[in-house]
Amino acid sequence: MEAVLRLFVPDAYVPSIYAVNAEALVRKGLLGVVTDLDNTLVAWNEPEAPDKLVHWLDDLRDRGLKVCIVSNNKEVRVRPFAEQLNIPAVHEAGKPRMRAFMKALEITGTHPRQTAMIGDQLFTDIAGGNRMGMYTILVVPISDKEWVGTRVMRLFERRVLRFIAPSLHRISEGEHRG
């Protein structure tokens, strides 16, 4: 059981993407960032990117990090959002399946060990990133407003979070799993 739970333990747990420092990622040797969209970058189905997000993404790119959005949402949602930011994206990803993560790595031209996966869900973003061997960062969801299927999964996610909470506490103090 413990081995299965490790699949859901992120390398870092932060309050929002804005706590993810581009320079720190570069110091870790990372070259790419794969990020979820809804409730990670913006609230669920929010069509516009706030200036703060644009500046954060610019900082990543200015430091040489390649960025790609990977979302389980539909093309009609993902493509216009990604285009306004001039970022490549994979829609209807089917996370945590590996196919979309591999496509994102191909787009960024990075190896899994050189890439961070940032997302708000343990069962899709973190599990998928961990399966790939990526550096995983869990963020607190931006909003309670979500697709109904996600709301159901959050019930199970909360149970898992209780089991892995001691690991998350250590991570928040700067320790990382090895």
| pLDDT for the residue 1 | 46
pTM reported for the whole predicted model? 0.85
Which tokens in the block code for residue 40? 């990670």
Helices (H), ranges, 63-147: 75-85, 98-108, 127-132
Tokens 């909003």 found at = 143
CA end-to-end span of the chain: 19
Distance CA 73, CA 86 (A): 18
Q: pLDDT by residue (tens digit) across 52-106?
A: 999 999 999 999 999 999 999 999 999 999 999 999 999 999 999 999 999 999 9
List strand residue ranges (DSSP E) for the chain, in order: 12-14, 32-35, 66-70, 89-90, 115-119, 135-139
Distance CA 42, CA 102 (A): 24
Is domain 1-173 in CATH 3.40.50.720, yes or no?
no
Tokens 């496509």 found at = 103
Size (the chain), residues = 178
With the CA atoms of 99, 62, 64 and 50 taken in that order, what torsion angle do they form, in degrees rounded to the nearest 10? -10
75-85 vs 51-62: helix crossing angle, rounded to 10 = 70
| pLDDT for the residue 5 | 66
| pLDDT for the residue 151 | 57
Distance CA 125, CA 81 (A): 19
Distance CA 55, CA 70 (A): 20
